[in-house]
Each structure stands twice: as C-alpha cells, then as structure tokens.
Amino acid sequence: MQDEIEFSVYAVEKKTETVAEFIRQTFNISKNKIKKTHLAKKFLQSLVQHKMTLSLPIDLVNAGMIFPQFNGPPHIIIFQDKDFLVLDKKEQSHCHPLKFSDTNNCLSFLRAENQGNLLVNPTAAERGLLYRLDYATSGVLIYINSQSLYDYCRSNFNQVACQKIYKAKVIGTGPSLGKYQHYFSQAGVKGAKRKIVETETNESAQLNILHTHYDKKNHQSLLTISLKTGLRHQIRAQLAYLGFPIIGDDLYGGTPAPRLYLHAYQYDLNIHDKMISFHGPCPF
C-alpha cells in the first residue's frame, strides 16, 4: 500500500489559506493530528495555489477509516444475530486500527469479511465494540450492531457487564482462592504500565480467583479469574503484584513464552434484566 496520496487543488477559497488550513477544512482533521505527521512546518505554512498538487500521508487523509483488507491471525465469529457479533479474538492483534494503514485488527477483519454494522458509533475508532482487549490478549470480544443498543450498554456499562471470566497461566501453584482488592497508579513510559500502590487512589479494582488447576509436572497453574469491572492491565498488574506474573508477560516480569497466556473466556451481560452469556474455547 502506498504511504502517500496526491491531491490536485483546482479551487482556492482564500488566497491566504495555508496548506495546514486546507488539510484541516477539507478532511476535517484537527490541528493536533496534523502536527503529529512528518510534514514539514515550512510546507504546512506555505500558501495553497491554484492547480497545486499536494502529496499527503494516506493515514492522515483517511484518519478514522477502517482499511478494507485484513492481514493478521484469523479471528473466529462465535455468535451473531441482529444485535451482537461476538468474536474469538486471537492474540497479537489490535481490537481496532490505530491508523488507517493498520491491517491487523478486528475491525479490518469484519470489514474484509463484510460482517457487522461498522456504521455504529462512526466517529470513534472502536466503532461498536463494547470493550477492548489488549493486543496480546485473546478471547471473547463483543461488537454491537445497533446504535441504540450500543448507547444503552455504554451508558449503563457497570450494570450491563455483570461478570467477566478470564483464564491465565502462571508459574507455580498460583495465589490462594479469593478476592483481592488493590489501588492502581500509572507507571512506565507514558503510563504504559499499571502499578499497585498501598495508598488509596481514584483507580481501584477487585480480582477474584475462582479456581486453580496445578500442573505438577510443568510446575504451572491455570487460573480462572472473575472481574466485575476492569481497568487496563488489571489482571496482569495484580497477578504480578501477588508474585505470579502471567507466563509470556514480559511487561510485568512473566516467564518468556510465544504468547501472553491470558484469555477472555466468558462475558455475562444483563440487557434490560435479561441475562446473556458469551464464551468460547480456551486455547491453552
């Protein structure tokens, strides 16, 4: 795919219009996004001329759009009706594109397969996804096919998403069964990690270890974990804090492995007092 696309300018509304202003008004792109491109400041401040040809980054011009081709580990549609499309998301794939040229994401998969109503929540990168999973995490991912249902679920998310069950594999016997409540703060470059802290913060979450299956031969445990709500990296940070980082989680000190051994196994929803459960097979 080409990195840039050329535009010929045949009409200029204002003789004093800069290239930056032309881009912003023509493609409805914010000043902040334009500044983040590799375009030279001198070029952006130059005046637009009649019959001028502009060569612009395709990721800038098509910002917010979903690339129609998919190139990544194939996802599986495990359920679909007029309201929901449920994916078994594979590990090492984004939920939504980070830029137009990103072809390894679930929304490009849906577009390539001509599945799902991608006009839901059209101005947001995640479209109708009810939630997101980490790039390295596999499992149940729910897409909502109607705008009204999406709005209801997002506005009442803490009541709608009544239970989330994950599978994780760790070295050793694993932590004891029961509930663990922790406070979080950001850590790492640009807050890439979550850190457990002793003092109270505005980020708090509970992790409930429901079951542990210990494999004595390999000295590994498969954990079944329940969440009511969830913060980004919550399970990864909490298990690492408890002394059992997930296998393959190099960000939190886990033993090296081909993948992160964390899987979103089941999501239970309460939609207008009707319980709906989605689950798929655990790959490990």
Q: DSSP per residue over 33-48, as a string?
A: HHHTSS--HHHHHSBP
CA 133, 138, 144: angle at the middle one, nearest 5? 55
**Hey, do 67-155 and 161-284 end up sharing a CATH topology, with the first three levels equal?**
yes
CA 116, 119, 121: angle at the middle one, nearest 5? 110
Residue 14 reports pLDDT greater than 90: no
pLDDT-based confidence at 26, cuts 50/70/90?
Answer: confident
How many CB atoms are closer than 10 A to CB 117? 18
Candidate CATH numbers 3.30.2350.10, 3.40.1190.10, 1.10.10.10, 3.40.50.2300; the one for domain 161-284: 3.30.2350.10
> For residue range 28-40, what is the model confidence (pLDDT) as tens digits?
888 888 888 888 9
**Tokens 């009707």 sit on residue:** 274
For the entire predicted model, the pTM comes to 0.89
Tell me the domain boundaries of the chain: 4-61, 67-155, 161-284
| Mean pLDDT of the region 243-248 | 98
Alpha carbon 283 to its chain's center = 20
Alpha helices for 36-114 (secondary structure H): 41-45, 58-61, 106-112
Instruction: Calculate what percentage of the chain has a pLDDT beyond 90.
Output: 72
- Asked whether the beta carbons of 201 and 142 are under 8 A apart, the reply is no
> For residue range 123-156, what is the model confidence (pLDDT) as tens digits?
999 999 999 999 999 999 999 999 999 999 999 9
Mean pLDDT of the chain: 92
pLDDT-based confidence at 96, cuts 50/70/90?
Answer: very high
- Asked whether the beta carbons of 245 and 252 are under 8 A apart, the reply is yes
Q: pLDDT higher for 219 or 10?
A: 219
CA dist 201 and 109 (Å) reads 38
CA dist 73 and 136 (Å) reads 12
CATH no. for 67-155 = 3.30.2350.10
CA dist 129 and 277 (Å) reads 16
CA dist 208 and 225 (Å) reads 6
Residue 218 reports pLDDT greater than 60: yes
**Distance in Å from the first CA to the final CA of the chain:** 35
Q: Identify the pLDDT of residue 9.
A: 65
3-state secondary structure of 95: coil
